[in-house]
Structure 1
């Protein structure tokens, strides 16, 4: 955690990791992770690695777990860093905050590490059928792959419930089109930052993309709730 005393870290110096070692452990799960991204997260106050006398960053196991949590929340929940930092600050303060984007799950202080599920595991945990998963892939609602994350699991669970109401994946093809339109908006907004092709700008562009996606999600949710108000007076 961010509050780990330097003295405690020093007592386990043999377990401290360099940036390169952190990347080696995390990039299999998060291929887009770079040294610039790690430094950017530190600049934003989300992680605070120890420093050697020469100024090199050293990460303990708690830092590694925290980074995995941050990256998982970005990847699977599309949360902007400001929301993630607020959540972690509350966790550090022992407040037991509700996980952002969740309405009922009040779990332990740290999320489990990002899981990767096989096709069979995904189907079993979602309570779905192989045909439903195939239909979702065919409708471009779920991206095909050898393994799947918790975000895909949540989508497939939702599709199971929607199917019970007579809504099939083929009815949701427009969602992919809408997502591509939103991607176009994000790409346009990133042009001023992307023009500066340096490591810091690339890290900022990646973070800004997640923040914009989060704001678009808020607008979309509000529009749907408003429409529901007209549908069900």
Structure 2
């Protein structure tokens, strides 16, 4: 029986008599079905609360057979249904409560409704907004937007519109501007983001070239997860640096 990561049999500290496995052994077992899985991926799923291995007194992770089964279920739902982790977590929690739940049809077989957004875990074509809408969303002038574009902070697509990420960037640049940070100050931030994107691409590129079409399709979800981890690391490093300088 599957357990939720917040409780159930096996939660706690590992003891010598338990049938538990190291993260390397878990990786070897999962890779037969999921060749793209990595130790970082397993740690990411743990950080997201989808599995909670025991810990030895020295802090090493130890996984039970139930943990491995749960990880396999999570990976199947990502691979076969392209579900976001939040939905996967809710589905597993419902199963643990004994509820009868049904997964949605495989994403590859579904066509999104006209004008709708696709599943958060699928590649999607973001809705575009026009220049006037972007200016209104960020609360800035045409001159300010033109300056941001000159520094490469915001860019139009070939169709002349701006995607959701551009709107987010514009709002953040505007907010930082209220503290006196100008576009020229943000060039270093953009350069760091491009370097981080390059690191993500190094990891994902082999998945996109893989013979298995499911592995290639999984590259997009892996990209998002790596990007999320990169953002969290960046934020933690900034906080650490500020803590050192301010104390």
- What TM-score does the superposition give when structure 1 sets the normalisation length? 0.53
Q: Aligned residue for 2:155? A: 143
Q: Aligned residue for 2:104? A: 49
Residue 50 of structure 1, CA deviation = 5.4
Instruction: Determine whether 1:117 maps to 2:129.
Output: yes
CA distance in 2, matches of 1:187, 1:132: 31
Give secondary structure in 1 for the equivalent of 2:82.
helix
5+ residue gaps, structure 2, are 1-77, 89-101
5+ residue gaps, structure 1, are 1-36, 77-113
Residue 42 of structure 1, CA deviation = 5.7
Instruction: Determine whether 1:197 maps to 2:211.
Output: yes
Q: Are the structure 2 counterparts of residues 43 and 158 from structure 1 closer, same or farther at C-alpha, using a change threshold of 3 Å?
A: closer
Query: Once the two structures are superposed, what CA deviation does each residue of 1:35-78 show, in whole Å capped at 9, x if it has no partner?
Result: xx994416987693359xxxx956797xx96x635159x879xx
Query: Once the two structures are superposed, what CA deviation does each residue of 1:61-105 show, in whole Å capped at 9, x if it has no partner?
Result: 7xx96x635159x879xxxxxxxxxxxxxxxxxxxxxxxxxxxxx
- What TM-score does the superposition give when structure 2 sets the normalisation length? 0.50
Greater helix proportion: 1
Instruction: Determine whether 1:209 maps to 2:223.
Output: yes
Which of 126, 138, 154 lines up with 1:126 in the alignment? 138
Q: Are the structure 2 counterparts of residues 216 and 75 from structure 1 closer, same or farther at C-alpha, using a change threshold of 3 Å?
A: farther
